[in-house]
Structure formats: C-alpha cells, structure tokens
Amino acid sequence: MDMSRLYNHLIVRRIGPPARKQPQQRNDRVALGKCETCFDERAPSDLVKFSCGHKSCYKCLEKFITGALRDESMFPPQCCGQPFEFDRFRIAPELYAEYHQKMIEWTAPKREAHDGACVIDQATKELMELAVKEGWQQCRKCERMVEKTFGCRHITCNCGHEFCYLCGADFLPWRCNCGENEYDPGAEEDEAAVEGDPRDQAIAVIGGLDADLIMIPSRILDRGESVLANEYHETLGGKGANSAIATYRTCHKRPLKDQGGVEYPGDDNIQVKMIGAVGDDRYGQKFIVELNENRVDVSGIVTVPDTRSSICFVMVETSTRENRCLFTLGATATWRKQDFSIPEQLGGGTRPDLAIAQMEIDKEVVETMIETAGKAGIDSCLNAAPATPIGKRVYRHVTHRLANESEAAIKSGRDRDEVNEESWPTIAQEFLNRGVRNVVITLGAKGAFYANAMGSDHCLAFDVNIEDTTGAGQVDFLGLLD
C-alpha cells in the first residue's frame, strides 16, 4: 500500500476541503449629516451646503427663503453674508418664481442721472396720485413709498433712513420740519384717545438672544468632577427670545392642535417686537427666521458684524429637571446707554406701550431703558435675572418687578434660606417703598407671591408634570399681561 497516498487522504479528510472565501459584508447604511439650523440628522441628499460651508435641510432652507421674501431687510437670502446659489438647490418652482420677482422688484437699478425734468410714465403717475390721496410718504433716500398703519410719526425705513411721516423731512431727535412746534411723540396717541379711535398697541421685549447648548446629566456635577451626560441638544433661547415668543402667544388667538381649533383669548391688535443683537454667524440668521415664524416683529434686531451671537451652556438634571446656566454675552454686550435714551429707541423706532427688560444686558444700559420708559410714561416690566443690583433711583420708574427666590435674596441682602413665607411680604414691601408699583416673587413649585398698593397674596402653582424648567422664569410675567 502506498502509505503516502493514504497519509494524504487522511489529511484531506481531517482538514476538509479548502474553505470558501466569505464575501465581505457591505455596509449599506448611509452616513447621516446634520442640519445646522434645526440640528436634525438627514441623508446627504436631503441637505444643501452653502458656499460658506454650513449645511441646511430643505425644510429649513425654505424657511430662510420665505423669511427673506417677507422682509426686504433680509433679502437676498444668505448665510454668513453670502447669498444662496439657487441653481444648486431643489426648491419649489412657485417659490423660485416669487424669489425671482422680488429680485427684480427690490434690486432694480435706479435711473441714471440726466439733465432736465424726469419723464414720468403712466404707472408712476398713478402711484403718486394714489400716494397723495392716501397720505403716504416717500423715503427720500431709497424712494420707496411708505404707509403708516399705527404708531408715531417717526418713521424708520427698511433702508435705515429716518424721516417724519407728516412732512417727509429728515427726522432729528425730538424735532422735524412740521413747523416751529417741538415734536411730541405722544401727541398722536393722545389725540386718538380723545377721539375714542382704537389703535394697535406695541410691546417691546429688550433682552438677550442666546444659542443654548444643553447637556442633560443624571445629576448636577460637583466642583472638579466630570459626569457623563445622557443627552445633548442645541436650540435657540435667551431670556429675550423666550419672553418675546411667550408674550405673543399670550396676547394673540392661537389654535390648539389637540382641541380641534379651540382658540386662546387674545387681542389681535397687539404687536410684539424683539429688540436685541445677534452676531453675523449661523445662529444670528436662525433667530430672525424662527422669531418671524412665531410672528414676532424682528425689525428691532441688529446684526453686529465680526461678532459672535450670545452662547448659553445649560445643564438640566434628569431627575428634577432643574437647570444651571452659564452664558457669554457676545453680540448682546454691544448695547450702549445712548441706544435707549429716547422713547422711540425702546421700540426699535416706535414708541412702545410696554417695555419688557431682563438683566442680561449691561446694568447701566438696563437702568437707562427703565428711566427712559418711566419719564415718558411707558409701563415697564423688569425681570431681575440674572440677579444684578440696580440703582435705587431707578426703582421709582419700574411698573412691574419680578424676581425668583434667589434673585430676591440677592437684591434684598438676605441669604437664600431667609426667603420664605414669613419674609415674602417684607421683601415685597421694601421694593414698594422704593417706588415699584407691582412686585412679584416667583416661587417655583410653590407658585408666586405678589404685592402692590392694593394688597398682597400668595398664588399657588398649578399641578403639572415638570418636563424642563429652562425658560420658565421668562413666562411668569405673562399672568400680568393676561
């Protein structure tokens, strides 16, 4: 017997035939990208990349475009100062048609200068006749026609030019060319009140616009400790932005999705305007789009070049849903006292009926706001957060003053544990003695304590499921508005 053949046969039987080469498994999962506006994850085909490098989903892209088509000051739609390249995007034909029409309407070149009188075409002639009939004014800088629907005669055009609506002349502080009389910003309001003519009311919310970077750990970490967070979110916030949206929703009818169109009671004649500052970054444009979507007037928002928007780092404890906030001012720090020295500046060019402020802005700037409002007879609401002491002379101009327990302790010179049911009336009375007309101390789950010249009381809180306390402090004053 050929032992070598037998040996080879046993080896083959023991080892077996050569193993088949297994095909490599294909990973068919497509890597997702993130929209830098809504922060949702999307397939690459559902994202567009702007020339500046930022990415957006098509839903947010349409919001950007729609917002720019509503407000000429935002046109053309852009990111980081660079206009969108529409030939690279898949957008609805009707939206592109509207964009093309606005491009013609808003960017058409002016007529070239020439000798002699201008030849006025029939359409222009009819427009000018209609303007005279309706009492419209024409901006001397950009030549746009302007119609005033409410407010004082001090007009700020979209191009930035300020003029008097009655005489059309350039507007100077407190004076115009309507005659020798000094300009009185409250004259029209007084006349309307005498005649019983209802007019729209304006609420100006002056405060911070912060991009919130939110970590949700199981507990708040101690000094020198590192804790793994369970969740991370990026969203838009800030005491100013939160207050503005909450104010609009409180004052206007709004259908409830889960109750088949039931409406909140409200007044459609109330305008809410946001007065704030953002940087020329991706967050700044998001704020304008989102506030527009929530029907807040954004004409009072200033974009500061070469500056970052304000950033707030938020920690939310999983078990209690209580939060801790750490923020940088960014563009919010650019406000100065002279920016709020006359009543019209409180409303971004128009005199408001109520000015709402927080302490996110420099203390001296806030004090100027309150004093300007008080001297002009404009109601003010000061949400004393973050806790920053203000000059005693300012309190007599404050109509409504709100503070939580920690802020009340700091402002009244007490320890936190000294703010309790026994001390609430004393703390409130101290601020009333300084000239504040209405004082509210918010107490979290215990409700709120209020006091004024008519009396005081403790209002218990509603029994609700706590999801997150972030932003809750900015809506406490809405009970006053309601």
Question: Residue ranges per domain, the chain?
Answer: 33-104, 135-199, 203-481
Angle at 240 between CA 432 and CA 406, to 5 degrees: 45
pLDDT given at position 141: 77
- Taking the C-alpha atoms of residue 207 and residue 402, their distance in angstroms, rounded to an integer, is 15
- Those residues of the chain that have pLDDT short of 70 are 1-30, 72-73, 106-121, 150-152, 160, 171-200, 253-268, 466-482
Which residue is it, tokens 């709100």? Answer: 402
* Of the candidates 425, 406, 404, 424, the residue with the CA atom closest to the CA atom of residue 416: 406
Residues contacting 116, CB < 8 A, separation 6+: none
CATH number given to 203-481: 3.40.1190.20
The pLDDT of residue 367 is: 93
What's the confidence (pLDDT) of residue 190? 46
DSSP 411-437: HHT--GGG-STTTHHHHHHHHHHTT-S
Phi, psi of 153 (to 5 degrees): -85, -5
Q: What is the distance between the alpha carbons of residues 49 and 61, in angstroms, rounded to a whole number? A: 10
3-state secondary structure 258-283: HHCCCECCCCCCEEEEEEEEEECCHH
Show the tokens assigned to 456: 């005081």
The alpha carbons of the chain give a radius of gyration, in whole angstroms, of 30
Instruction: Give the pLDDT score at 10.
Output: 41
Q: Phi and psi dihedrals of 210, rounded to 5?
A: -115, 140
Q: How far apart are CA 57 and CA 34, in angstroms?
A: 8
Q: What is the pTM assigned to this prediction?
A: 0.59
Provide the 3-class DSSP secondary structure of residue 403: strand
Which residue type does 14 have? R
CATH assignment, 33-104: 3.30.40.10
Would you state the pLDDT for residue 177?
Answer: 53
Q: Which of 145, 141, 203, 194 is nearest to 171 (CA)?
A: 141
Q: How far apart are CA 384 and CA 434, in angstroms?
A: 15
So what's the pLDDT on residue 15?
42
Amino acid at 394: V
